[in-house]
């Protein structure tokens, strides 16, 4: 039986996850620099040990209202195809081991922007975790708001 590890987090009460190997680190940050004329999903930029990181608001990517980047904000720093990018999330979860046998494709009822970001689902104890496509989640040119 093959299993994978996922780093979990919440946005608007929904549990999401990305494979651990795509995560550089998780941190709380509170000083963002706005980026004029940037896509709406880009909440700002921040300096992480000398490297400039774009903060992509996962709420906007999901078609929800933007999160206010005031005070400490939770960031999941992802290693995508290019430079590291931060996903701004509501709450950090834990790392879970999930069996590939419990993986299911996204339900047909899932629609809108979320459908484009979700590659599948895993049933956890009492919850459903939506597995994200990391590259789609940080692609700010596909944002709808």
144 lies in a domain? no
Question: Which residues form the domain of 74?
Answer: 3-137
Distance between CA atoms of residues 20 and 68, nearest Å: 27
125 lies in a domain? yes
What does the pLDDT read at residue 143? 47
Which two tokens mark 71?
């005070």
For residues 107-128, average pLDDT: 91
143 lies in a domain? no
State the total domains in the chain.
Answer: 1
DSSP state of 20: G
Mean pLDDT of the chain: 91
59 lies in a domain? yes
107 lies in a domain? yes
- At 25-79, the pLDDT tens digits run 999 988 899 999 999 999 999 999 999 999 999 999 999 998 777 778 999 999 8
Model pTM score: 0.92
Q: Are strands 73-79 and 84-89 parallel, antiparallel or unpaired?
A: antiparallel
CATH code assigned at 89: 2.40.50.180
39 lies in a domain? yes
């Amino acid at each position: 039986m093959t299993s994978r590890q996922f780093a979990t987090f919440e946005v608007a009460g929904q549990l999401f996850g990305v494979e651990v190997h795509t995560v550089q680190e998780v941190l709380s940050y509170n000083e963002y620099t706005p980026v004029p004329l940037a896509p709406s999903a880009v909440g700002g930029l921040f300096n992480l040990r000398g490297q400039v990181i774009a903060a992509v608001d996962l709420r906007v990517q999901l078609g929800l209202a933007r999160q206010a980047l005031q005070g400490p904000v939770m960031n999941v720093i992802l290693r995508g195809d290019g430079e590291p990018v931060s996903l701004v999330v509501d709450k950090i979860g834990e790392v879970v081991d999930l069996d590939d046998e419990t993986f299911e494709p996204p339900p047909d009822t899932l629609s809108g922007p979320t459908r484009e970001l979700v590659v599948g689902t895993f049933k956890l104890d009492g919850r459903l975790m939506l597995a994200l496509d990391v590259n789609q989640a940080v692609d700010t040119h596909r944002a709808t708001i």
